[in-house]
Structure 1
Amino acid sequence: MFLGTHSPRLDEKGRLILPAKFREELAGGLVLTKGQEHCIYVFSAREFEKVHADMVGAPMQNRQARDYGRILLSGASDEVPDKQGRVTIPATLRAYAGLDRELVVIGAGNRAEIWDAKAWTEYLAEQEKAFAEMDEDAVPGTKAQ
């Protein structure tokens, strides 16, 4: 499971040093793809297979399922970290997420997310008040206790 907030930097070759806590899970390969809110999703290869299997199970007649699959898969890049735990982020994904040198990598359970540091700060500021006011009915997929 991916947890926490980390603040690595992007090097001049477009590489990111993966947070040490994430390296073991991602050592066998990972998939980078467009995430929602203009971040980059980072899935282990194994977890991405599960995501893909769920998408394949969605009806092709459903426009939202087709659209989501197209965006997610067309932006995907499979990568293998080097011995130092570095992974290259393709230029198209760096542009999509507006990545500059300063990054934030967050754990989001079954995936990590890569954000431009300024974009993450702005997103967090916008969402924290709503987060504090959420109840169990506001979060889809959760069960009331």
Structure 2
Amino acid sequence: MFVGNYSLRLDEKGRLALPVRFREQVADGMVIKKGQERCVYGLTMARVAEQSRAAASMAPADTAEARMRARLSFGSMVEVEPDKAGRITIPASLRQYAGLDRDVVVVGVDTRFEIWDQAAWDAYEAEQEAVFAAMESEGMPTLS
């Protein structure tokens, strides 16, 4: 499970040192891909396999929406392998898509993590905080 958020920096080669707590979880392989709201998603290979199975069991695969979803999701995936320092290289195309330049935030979101431009994350979080605070429930199951 990926949790927490971490303010980090990309180096001049587009490398990002993953949070130490995430490194063990991605040791068996990972992908990064375009995420919604213009961020980059990081997924374990096991999670990618789960998503593939789930996509196959969804509505007919031969619809325009299903083809678009598969193309934009699986088509944007890049397999990455952390180096000995725990760094991954984010390709220029994904950095451009998410507006990643130097200061970034890595946000744990349960089965994935997201990489956001720091300013974009700050704006998103500020906008969503009021919505979250006004919700009747946080949407998470509670334990009795």
TM-score where L is the length of structure 2: 0.91
Segments of 4+ in structure 1 off by > 6 A?
Answer: 142-145
> Could you tell me how far apart the structure 2 residues matched to 1:143 and 1:83 are?
38
**Paired positions, count:** 142
Percentage of identical aligned residues: 46
Structure 1 residues without counterparts, runs of 5 or longer: none
Deviations 1:97-140 (A, max 9, x none): 0001000000000000000000000000111111112235x95x
> Could you tell me how far apart the structure 1 residues matched to 2:141 and 2:24 are?
31
Higher strand content, 1 or 2: 2
Counterpart in 2 of 1:12? 12
TM-score where L is the length of structure 1: 0.90
Counterpart in 2 of 1:121? 122
Aligned-residue offset at 1:61: 3.7
Aligned-residue offset at 1:143: 6.6
> Could you tell me how far apart the structure 2 residues matched to 1:100 and 1:108 are?
22
Counterpart in 1 of 2:66? 65
Counterpart in 2 of 1:112? 113
Structure 2 residues without counterparts, runs of 5 or longer: none
Cα root mean square deviation, aligned: 1.8
Describe how 1:130-145 pairs up with structure 2 within 5 A. 130-136=131-137
Taking a change above 3 Å as real, the CA distance of residues 135 and 64 of structure 1, as seen in their structure-2 partners, is farther
Counterpart in 2 of 1:30? 30
